[in-house]
Amino acid sequence: MVRNSPGVLVRCAQIFNRRGHNIEALHNTAIPDPSGTSRMTITAYGRSDAIQQITLQLKKLADVIDVTERGE
């Protein structure tokens, strides 16, 4: 979950880019309520320690509300 504001998608994608990981799929949908949030689903594959590091970095972004990591 992220705040629905300009540049959030780019900042999230840059974290993957800096770590050298490819985003396999990306879906972003605004939530139709007055909270001003969006649900962003990013699919990426890699070593578990690398994905955990990306997850921690995503959580540090100001516009990121919640990050959930799901294994395969």
pLDDT tens figures, 30-65 = 988 888 999 999 999 988 889 999 999 999 999 999
Q: Which domain holds residue 50?
A: 2-60
Residue in 6, 38, 39, 42 with CA at minimum distance from that of residue 21: 42
Residue 15 has pLDDT above 90, yes or no: yes
Considering the entire predicted model, what is its pTM? 0.86
Number of domains within the chain: 1
Structural domain includes residue 8: yes
Domain of residue 38, CATH code: 3.30.70.260
Is there a domain that residue 12 lies in?
Answer: yes
Q: Is residue 19 part of a domain?
A: yes
Q: Is residue 70 domain-resident?
A: no
Beta carbons of 40 and 46 less than 8 angstroms apart: no
The residues with which 41 forms a beta bridge, in sequence order, are: 27
Q: Which H helix or E strand runs over 48? A: helix 48-60
